[in-house]
Amino acid sequence: MAFVATRDSSFEIILTDGFKIEPGSIFICGFHGLGEVGFLSTAHLTRTLKAERVGFIKSDMLPLFVSMEGDRLVLPFEIYSYKEKKMIFLVPRFQPHQSDQWNFIDRLAQWIVDNKFAEAILLGGLDISFKEESENHAIRCVPTGAYQPHLKKWSVPLLEEGLFVAGPLALFLAELEMRNGAGIGLLSYATRGRPDPGSAALMLEKINEVFGVKANVEQLLEESREIERLEKMRKSIESRDDPGSMYL
Protein backbone atom coordinates (compact mmCIF):
# COMPACT_ATOMS: atom_id res chain seq x y z
CA MET A 1 0.00 0.00 0.00
CA ALA A 2 1.12 3.59 -0.59
CA PHE A 3 0.42 6.49 1.79
CA VAL A 4 -0.58 9.85 0.31
CA ALA A 5 -1.78 13.21 1.60
CA THR A 6 -0.37 12.70 5.07
CA ARG A 7 0.27 15.36 7.71
CA ASP A 8 1.12 14.80 11.38
CA SER A 9 -0.16 11.19 11.13
CA SER A 10 -3.72 12.35 11.86
CA PHE A 11 -5.16 11.73 8.41
CA GLU A 12 -4.03 9.25 5.77
CA ILE A 13 -5.44 8.23 2.43
CA ILE A 14 -4.16 4.75 1.72
CA LEU A 15 -4.27 3.70 -1.94
CA THR A 16 -3.49 0.24 -3.24
CA ASP A 17 -0.03 -0.18 -4.72
CA GLY A 18 0.13 1.11 -8.26
CA PHE A 19 -3.23 2.90 -8.23
CA LYS A 20 -3.10 6.58 -9.17
CA ILE A 21 -5.82 9.17 -9.53
CA GLU A 22 -6.15 10.26 -13.14
CA PRO A 23 -6.34 14.05 -13.56
CA GLY A 24 -9.86 15.04 -14.61
CA SER A 25 -11.54 12.31 -12.55
CA ILE A 26 -14.96 12.74 -10.91
CA PHE A 27 -15.21 12.44 -7.12
CA ILE A 28 -18.55 11.30 -5.67
CA CYS A 29 -19.44 11.08 -1.98
CA GLY A 30 -22.46 11.26 0.30
CA PHE A 31 -22.77 11.23 4.09
CA HIS A 32 -25.41 10.04 6.56
CA GLY A 33 -27.49 13.19 6.45
CA LEU A 34 -31.23 13.68 6.07
CA GLY A 35 -32.84 10.44 4.87
CA GLU A 36 -29.33 8.96 4.58
CA VAL A 37 -29.69 9.86 0.90
CA GLY A 38 -26.01 10.65 0.37
CA PHE A 39 -24.71 7.40 1.84
CA LEU A 40 -27.40 5.21 0.24
CA SER A 41 -26.76 6.76 -3.18
CA THR A 42 -22.97 6.43 -3.03
CA ALA A 43 -22.96 2.91 -1.59
CA HIS A 44 -25.51 1.71 -4.14
CA LEU A 45 -23.53 3.25 -7.01
CA THR A 46 -20.38 1.38 -6.03
CA ARG A 47 -22.29 -1.90 -5.77
CA THR A 48 -24.34 -1.75 -8.95
CA LEU A 49 -21.47 -0.41 -11.08
CA LYS A 50 -19.18 -3.07 -9.54
CA ALA A 51 -16.58 -0.41 -8.72
CA GLU A 52 -13.17 -1.64 -7.55
CA ARG A 53 -12.00 -0.91 -4.02
CA VAL A 54 -8.73 1.00 -4.34
CA GLY A 55 -8.13 2.62 -0.96
CA PHE A 56 -9.13 3.65 2.54
CA ILE A 57 -9.11 6.67 4.81
CA LYS A 58 -7.50 6.45 8.23
CA SER A 59 -7.70 9.09 10.92
CA ASP A 60 -7.04 9.39 14.64
CA MET A 61 -10.81 9.26 15.22
CA LEU A 62 -11.51 6.18 13.06
CA PRO A 63 -14.73 4.45 14.23
CA LEU A 64 -13.97 1.25 16.13
CA PHE A 65 -16.12 -0.95 13.89
CA VAL A 66 -15.63 -3.25 10.89
CA SER A 67 -18.11 -5.59 9.21
CA MET A 68 -18.44 -8.16 6.45
CA GLU A 69 -19.91 -7.70 2.98
CA GLY A 70 -20.15 -11.08 1.35
CA ASP A 71 -16.77 -12.68 1.97
CA ARG A 72 -14.87 -9.41 2.36
CA LEU A 73 -13.97 -7.30 5.38
CA VAL A 74 -15.23 -3.72 4.99
CA LEU A 75 -13.84 -0.67 6.81
CA PRO A 76 -15.48 2.62 7.87
CA PHE A 77 -14.14 4.82 5.02
CA GLU A 78 -13.40 3.12 1.69
CA ILE A 79 -12.43 4.49 -1.73
CA TYR A 80 -13.64 2.87 -4.96
CA SER A 81 -12.84 3.40 -8.63
CA TYR A 82 -15.14 3.00 -11.65
CA LYS A 83 -12.53 3.15 -14.36
CA GLU A 84 -14.88 3.33 -17.36
CA LYS A 85 -16.04 6.82 -16.37
CA LYS A 86 -13.02 7.94 -14.31
CA MET A 87 -15.21 8.03 -11.19
CA ILE A 88 -13.82 7.84 -7.66
CA PHE A 89 -16.27 7.10 -4.82
CA LEU A 90 -15.79 7.64 -1.11
CA VAL A 91 -18.16 5.39 0.85
CA PRO A 92 -18.37 6.57 4.49
CA ARG A 93 -20.18 3.85 6.43
CA PHE A 94 -20.13 6.18 9.44
CA GLN A 95 -20.15 9.94 9.82
CA PRO A 96 -16.67 11.33 10.56
CA HIS A 97 -16.42 11.82 14.33
CA GLN A 98 -17.87 15.17 15.40
CA SER A 99 -14.55 16.40 16.82
CA ASP A 100 -12.67 15.32 13.68
CA GLN A 101 -15.00 16.58 10.95
CA TRP A 102 -13.14 19.85 10.30
CA ASN A 103 -9.77 18.12 9.99
CA PHE A 104 -11.23 15.20 7.99
CA ILE A 105 -12.98 17.39 5.41
CA ASP A 106 -10.11 19.88 5.24
CA ARG A 107 -7.61 17.16 4.29
CA LEU A 108 -10.02 15.47 1.91
CA ALA A 109 -10.81 18.72 0.08
CA GLN A 110 -7.10 19.46 -0.29
CA TRP A 111 -6.54 15.93 -1.65
CA ILE A 112 -9.24 16.52 -4.27
CA VAL A 113 -7.63 19.79 -5.37
CA ASP A 114 -4.09 18.34 -5.34
CA ASN A 115 -5.17 15.40 -7.50
CA LYS A 116 -6.85 17.69 -10.04
CA PHE A 117 -10.33 16.21 -9.93
CA ALA A 118 -12.55 17.79 -12.58
CA GLU A 119 -15.64 17.66 -10.35
CA ALA A 120 -16.63 16.79 -6.79
CA ILE A 121 -20.25 15.58 -6.62
CA LEU A 122 -21.60 15.64 -3.05
CA LEU A 123 -24.94 13.92 -2.50
CA GLY A 124 -27.47 14.58 0.26
CA GLY A 125 -31.10 15.01 1.25
CA LEU A 126 -33.38 18.03 1.54
CA ASP A 127 -36.38 18.08 3.89
CA ILE A 128 -39.43 17.32 1.75
CA SER A 129 -41.51 19.72 3.87
CA PHE A 130 -39.76 22.55 1.96
CA LYS A 131 -41.09 21.30 -1.37
CA GLU A 132 -43.82 23.38 -2.95
CA GLU A 133 -46.90 21.49 -4.21
CA SER A 134 -46.32 22.85 -7.70
CA GLU A 135 -42.59 21.95 -7.68
CA ASN A 136 -41.70 19.65 -10.59
CA HIS A 137 -38.04 19.11 -9.72
CA ALA A 138 -37.02 16.43 -7.21
CA ILE A 139 -33.47 17.77 -6.76
CA ARG A 140 -31.88 21.09 -5.82
CA CYS A 141 -28.22 22.01 -6.18
CA VAL A 142 -25.59 24.07 -4.38
CA PRO A 143 -22.55 24.69 -6.63
CA THR A 144 -19.22 26.31 -5.83
CA GLY A 145 -18.14 29.25 -7.95
CA ALA A 146 -15.67 27.09 -9.88
CA TYR A 147 -18.43 24.62 -10.76
CA GLN A 148 -20.39 27.06 -12.93
CA PRO A 149 -19.04 25.70 -16.28
CA HIS A 150 -20.47 22.25 -15.41
CA LEU A 151 -23.79 23.39 -13.96
CA LYS A 152 -25.99 23.39 -17.09
CA LYS A 153 -25.83 19.63 -17.63
CA TRP A 154 -27.76 18.93 -14.39
CA SER A 155 -30.84 20.99 -15.30
CA VAL A 156 -31.86 21.35 -11.65
CA PRO A 157 -32.70 24.56 -9.75
CA LEU A 158 -30.44 26.17 -7.20
CA LEU A 159 -31.30 25.80 -3.52
CA GLU A 160 -33.59 28.66 -2.51
CA GLU A 161 -32.15 31.57 -0.54
CA GLY A 162 -32.87 31.21 3.16
CA LEU A 163 -32.42 27.42 3.22
CA PHE A 164 -29.20 25.98 4.60
CA VAL A 165 -27.03 22.94 3.95
CA ALA A 166 -25.71 21.41 7.19
CA GLY A 167 -23.16 18.89 8.40
CA PRO A 168 -20.11 17.43 6.62
CA LEU A 169 -21.57 18.17 3.18
CA ALA A 170 -21.83 21.89 4.01
CA LEU A 171 -18.27 21.94 5.33
CA PHE A 172 -17.05 20.09 2.23
CA LEU A 173 -18.62 22.68 -0.08
CA ALA A 174 -17.12 25.52 1.97
CA GLU A 175 -13.63 23.99 1.85
CA LEU A 176 -13.85 23.50 -1.92
CA GLU A 177 -15.10 27.06 -2.41
CA MET A 178 -12.14 28.44 -0.45
CA ARG A 179 -9.76 26.37 -2.62
CA ASN A 180 -11.48 27.32 -5.89
CA GLY A 181 -12.46 23.67 -6.34
CA ALA A 182 -15.26 22.63 -8.70
CA GLY A 183 -17.88 21.02 -6.46
CA ILE A 184 -21.64 20.70 -6.34
CA GLY A 185 -24.04 19.58 -3.63
CA LEU A 186 -27.02 17.67 -5.08
CA LEU A 187 -29.95 17.45 -2.65
CA SER A 188 -33.00 15.31 -3.37
CA TYR A 189 -36.18 15.81 -1.35
CA ALA A 190 -36.35 13.19 1.41
CA THR A 191 -38.42 12.22 4.46
CA ARG A 192 -36.94 13.28 7.78
CA GLY A 193 -36.40 10.73 10.55
CA ARG A 194 -35.84 7.55 8.52
CA PRO A 195 -33.80 6.23 5.59
CA ASP A 196 -35.33 7.25 2.26
CA PRO A 197 -34.14 4.85 -0.48
CA GLY A 198 -36.74 6.26 -2.86
CA SER A 199 -35.02 9.65 -2.71
CA ALA A 200 -31.67 7.93 -3.29
CA ALA A 201 -33.15 6.20 -6.36
CA LEU A 202 -34.16 9.60 -7.80
CA MET A 203 -30.61 10.81 -7.24
CA LEU A 204 -29.12 7.81 -9.06
CA GLU A 205 -31.51 8.22 -11.98
CA LYS A 206 -30.20 11.76 -12.43
CA ILE A 207 -26.57 10.56 -12.22
CA ASN A 208 -27.36 7.83 -14.78
CA GLU A 209 -28.78 10.49 -17.08
CA VAL A 210 -25.92 12.99 -16.73
CA PHE A 211 -22.95 10.60 -16.81
CA GLY A 212 -24.35 7.85 -19.03
CA VAL A 213 -23.96 5.08 -16.44
CA LYS A 214 -26.43 2.28 -15.74
CA ALA A 215 -26.80 2.02 -11.98
CA ASN A 216 -29.84 -0.20 -11.35
CA VAL A 217 -32.22 1.50 -8.90
CA GLU A 218 -34.82 -1.27 -8.59
CA GLN A 219 -33.50 -2.49 -5.24
CA LEU A 220 -33.75 1.01 -3.79
CA LEU A 221 -37.30 1.39 -5.13
CA GLU A 222 -38.27 -1.97 -3.63
CA GLU A 223 -36.83 -0.91 -0.26
CA SER A 224 -38.77 2.35 -0.53
CA ARG A 225 -42.03 0.52 -1.21
CA GLU A 226 -41.42 -1.76 1.77
CA ILE A 227 -40.70 1.17 4.10
CA GLU A 228 -43.87 2.92 2.93
CA ARG A 229 -45.88 -0.29 3.47
CA LEU A 230 -44.55 -0.66 7.03
CA GLU A 231 -45.18 3.04 7.74
CA LYS A 232 -48.82 2.73 6.60
CA MET A 233 -49.22 -0.40 8.74
CA ARG A 234 -47.77 1.41 11.77
CA LYS A 235 -50.13 4.37 11.32
CA SER A 236 -53.09 2.04 10.88
CA ILE A 237 -52.25 0.19 14.11
CA GLU A 238 -51.77 3.45 16.01
CA SER A 239 -55.11 4.70 14.70
CA ARG A 240 -56.92 1.53 15.84
CA ASP A 241 -55.27 1.77 19.27
CA ASP A 242 -56.37 5.40 19.71
CA PRO A 243 -59.64 5.45 21.71
CA GLY A 244 -60.54 8.76 20.18
CA SER A 245 -60.44 7.35 16.68
CA MET A 246 -63.87 5.65 17.16
CA TYR A 247 -65.47 9.11 17.14
CA LEU A 248 -63.96 10.17 13.81
Domain count, the chain: 1
Q: Give a yes or no: residue 247 inside a domain.
A: no
Query: For position 241, what pLDDT does the model report?
Result: 56
Residues of the chain with pLDDT > 70, as a percent, come to 89
Q: Give a yes or no: residue 47 inside a domain.
A: yes
If we measure between CA atoms, which residue out of 200, 198, 169 comes closest to residue 185? 169
Residue 37 CA to residue 35 CA, distance in Å, equals 5
CATH number for the domain spanning 48: value is 3.40.50.10900
Q: What is the pLDDT of residues 172-206, one digit of tens each?
A: 999 999 999 999 999 999 999 888 989 999 999 99
What are 141's strand-pairing partners?
Answer: 158, 186
Sign for the pseudo-dihedral over CA of 37, 38, 40, 44:
positive
Q: Give a yes or no: residue 169 inside a domain.
A: yes
State which residues form the domain around 206.
2-242
Q: Give a yes or no: residue 57 inside a domain.
A: yes
Cα end-to-end span (Å), the chain: 66
Q: What is the pLDDT of residues 218-227, one digit of tens each?
A: 888 887 777 6
Q: How many of the other CB atoms lie within 10 Å of CB of 47?
A: 15
pTM: 0.87
Q: Give a yes or no: residue 114 inside a domain.
A: yes
Q: Could you give the angle at the alpha carbon of 39 between the alpha carbons of 219 and 79, nearest 5°?
A: 105
Query: For position 195, what pLDDT does the model report?
Result: 87
Asked if residue 244 has pLDDT above 90, the reply is no
Q: What is the pLDDT of residues 50-80, one digit of tens each?
A: 999 999 999 888 888 888 988 999 999 999 9
The mean pLDDT value of the chain amounts to 88
Q: How many of the other CB atoms lie within 10 Å of CB of 28?
A: 26
Q: What is the pLDDT of residues 95-131, one digit of tens each?
A: 888 888 999 999 999 999 999 999 999 999 999 988 8
Q: Give a yes or no: residue 248 inside a domain.
A: no
Residue 49 CA to residue 56 CA, distance in Å, equals 19
Q: What is the pLDDT of residues 141-157, one digit of tens each?
A: 999 999 999 999 999 99
- Order the strands of the 77-82 sheet from edge to edge: 2-4, 11-15, 52-59, 77-82, 87-92, 26-30, 119-127, 183-190, 139-143
Q: Give a yes or no: residue 103 inside a domain.
A: yes
